[in-house]
Copies of this chain bind each other. A is one copy, B any other.
Amino acid sequence: MDNRAIGIFDSGLGGLTAVKELRRLLPNEHIIYFGDTGRVPYGSRGRAIIQKYAMQDIAFLKQHDVKLILAACGTASSALTPQQTDCIGIPYSGVVLPSAQAACAATVSGRIGVIGTSATVRSGAYGRAIRSIRPDVHVFGNACPLFVPLVENGFIQPDNEITTKVAEQYLLPMRKEQIDVLILGCTHYPLIYSIIDRIFESKVTLIDPGREVARWAQGYLAQHGLLGEGDGRCEFYVSDSPEGFTETAALFMGENIKSDVTQVDIDAISELAL
Q: Which residues of A contact B (CB under 8 A)?
A: 37-40, 44-49, 145-146, 149-150, 152-153, 155, 161-162, 165-166, 169, 239-241, 243-244, 267
Known: A165-B161, A165-B162. A49 touches B150 (CB 8 A): no
CB-CB < 8 A to A239: which residues of B?
49
Are the C-beta atoms of A243 and B44 separated by less than 8 Å? Answer: no
Top-10 shortest CB links A-B: A46-B241, A149-B149, A267-B267, A46-B240, A38-B49, A49-B240, A145-B153, A45-B240, A162-B165, A39-B39
A-side binding surface: helix, strand, loop or mixed?
A: loop
Q: Select from chain B the residue with minimum beta-carbon distance to A149.
A: B149
Known: A240-B46, A241-B49, A267-B267. A150 touches B146 (CB 8 A): yes
Known: A161-B165, A162-B169, A166-B162. A241 touches B48 (CB 8 A): yes
Jot down 21 A-B pairs with beta carbons below 8 A, ordered by A.
Answer: A38-B45, A39-B39, A44-B152, A45-B240, A45-B241, A46-B241, A46-B243, A49-B239, A49-B240, A49-B241, A145-B149, A145-B153, A146-B149, A146-B150, A146-B153, A149-B149, A161-B165, A162-B165, A162-B166, A162-B169, A165-B165
